[in-house]
Amino acid sequence: MSKEKGTMENFNLNKDILLVMVEERFNKSISVRDVCDVVNRSYGIRGDIRVNILKYSNELARMSKIYKEENNILHTFFDITLGLITKKLINTDEATKKLDVMIKNSMCKLTGNNEHKNEN
């Protein structure tokens, strides 16, 4: 929980950017990295911006819950992004395997493709 100058602490989802980017990315096949990029850019996160990862993870979980309660497929974007972040933070074989399965299942749900490769 960095309090360093320049660390992003507040997160406001720009739903317009999210929806436009989702539509653009679905014109071609979408990857796990694309999903993560869409979510991050929807929050204004790009390049070398420093982020309070705990607060960002809480925001992603909050948005996932909201979209799940609405039965909106967009919850998969937040689940996948949160899974990738968690995977980087908790680097154990058991956790990695479980997160890979969760990410793959979310990608399959998102794309409707039950044979989705896990390229994360």
Report whether pLDDT(2) > 50: no
* pTM of the shown model: 0.85
- Gap between the Cα atoms of 108 and 81, Å rounded: 15
- The domain segmentation of the chain, as residue ranges, is 12-111
28-57 residue pLDDT tens: 678 999 999 999 999 999 888 889 999 999
- Gap between the Cα atoms of 120 and 104, Å rounded: 9
**Mean pLDDT computed over 5-17:** 83
75-84 residue pLDDT tens: 999 999 999 9
